[in-house]
Amino acid sequence: MNYDFVEDIQRGILNLSLKDKAFFIEVMNLIKSEYFEYPPHSKMYQSISEFYTQYRKLPTPAVLMEEVKGKLGPKENFSDYMEEINSISAMDASEITDETYYMNLVEKFAKESAMKEAIMQSISLIEEGKAAEVRGVVENALMVGRNVDNGQIYFKDVHNRWIREISQKHEQRFPTIFPICNAHLEGGNSRGELCMAVACPGVGKSIFLVNQSVKILKQDKKVLFVSLEMSQDKIAKRFDSVMTHIPYNSLTGQKSQTELNERHTIIKAKFPNAELVIKEFPTGTITANNIRALLTQLALHDDFVPDMIAIDYLELLLPIRKTDQEHVAQMRIAEEIRAIGQEFKMLIWTVTQTNRDGESVELITKREMGGSYDKIKPVDWAISLNQTSEEYDEGRMRVYILKARDAKQKYVVPVNIDYRTLIMDTGNGQKEEN
C-alpha cells in the first residue's frame, strides 16, 4: 500500500528514519517518540532511536521488527506491527522532490507536537500545585526547531567578529558601586550576567545589595529586589536611607517622613524611568521558577520589566533539580538564576555566605572557599566582602575581586560604610594580591 509523504507526515518520518541516515541525524533531536499519535509508530521511532544510539547505524526493517517485539504489551498483536512496518518500508520516497519543503513540514509537526505535549504537562503541573513550573515547560516547547547555526567559519567571519566586538563595547553596561572595577569592566556588568557578593554572616551582604540596587536605579533603570529573609518594609526602609541620605534611625519621625517624600520627588524627577519593586518570599520555599512566575505577573499586571534582579540571598532558594549534596545544590541554584538573566536579558545580583574557613581569615579568596566555590563557577563576576572588628568600628571594609570572566581580578578595593545612612562608597587606592 502506498502513502503520500505530505499527507501522512508521521509515516514519512518513519520511512526516511529507516532509510536515510542523514535525515535521521537531523531530526533525532527534533522529534520525540511521544509525538506520534499511533502507538505502534511511537514504538517504532523509539526503537530506531535506541538502535542508532547504541550501534550508530539504522536498523533494517527485519531488525526493527525484533526491536519492537520486545516492547509489546500483553494485549498487543505483533502481526499488526509487522504489517505496518512492511507498509512503511514500501513507501516511495522518490516523490520528495523538494527536501527543504519536506523538512519544513517535519519541523512544523515537531513544533505542534511539542506544544501539545507541553499543554498536557502544564495541566498535570497545575493539578499538582506546581503552576510556577508551567512557564518553563511552555518556553521549552517554543524553542523546538531546527538548529541551522553550525558555528563560526573562522577565516570567513573576521569582519563579523569585529562588528560584534564593537557592538559589545557599546552595549548598555550596569556599573558597580566601585569606580575602579567599572574601569576594568569597560563600564560595568552586562545583561544576562550573574554577579555575586560573598561574605561571612553579619558583614553587610544585604546592605551591599541595597547599595548596588540604588546604583542601578540612579542609572534610570528598573530593579526587582527579592527578599528571602527580611520583610518588605524593612528592606524599603534601607532603600529610603541609602537613596535619600536620611539617617536610618531617624526615618520613623514625622519630620523625616516629610523630608523623605520631598527627596523622593526630587529623585523621581531626575530619574523618571527608575522603578523599584520589593517582593518578600518565605525563607526556603521558592525556586528560580517562582521568580520566573513573578516576572511574568509583574509584566502582565503592572507593566513592570526589571533591568536588574537582586536576590537576598542564594542559600535561601531551593534548587529546581533536587540533590543531597549542599555544594551541588548551591551550584545548581546559581545556574538556574543565571539562566533567568539570560532568558529575560536582565542583570542578576545575589549575595551568599562563605563557609567556616572564610570566618578565620582577613581576606576571602578562592583558597578559602573550599567546597563552597562550586556556587561561584556559573558566576560572571564575584567579589568578597571582608571586614575585621577594627574595620567595623571605623566604618571600613575591603572588597576583593574573586572572579571576573573577561576583566581584571585578584585585587582589593577599600570601601567606606556610613552606618547612619547605610551608604557604601569607595576609598582611595587598591592593592594587588601577592
Task: Give the homologous superfamily in CATH for domain 167-432.
Answer: P-loop containing nucleotide triphosphate hydrolases (3.40.50.300)
262: which 3 cell numbers?
520631598
Predicted pLDDT at 378:
93
Predicted pLDDT at 434:
36
Q: In the chain, which stretches have pLDDT less than 70? A: 1-3, 147-150, 164-171, 370-371, 427-434
Give residue 140's identity as a one-letter amino acid code: N
Predicted pLDDT at 400:
96
Break the chain into its structural domains and give their ranges.
Answer: 9-142, 167-432
Contact indicator for 72, 42 with CB cutoff of 8 Å: no
HSE toward the beta carbon, residue 419, CA cutoff 13 A: 9
122: which 3 cell numbers?
502544564
Predicted pLDDT at 150:
64
Dihedral (CA of 294, 300, 303, 306) sign: positive
**Phi, psi torsion values for 384, nearest 5 degrees:** -120, 145
HSE toward the beta carbon, residue 74, CA cutoff 13 A: 0
Distance CA 321, CA 316 (A): 15
H or E stretch covering 222: strand 222-227
Asked if domains 9-142 and 167-432 share a fold, the reply is no
Contact indicator for 152, 138 with CB cutoff of 8 Å: no
Query: Looking at the domain 9-142, which fold is it?
Result: DNAb Helicase; Chain A (1.10.860)
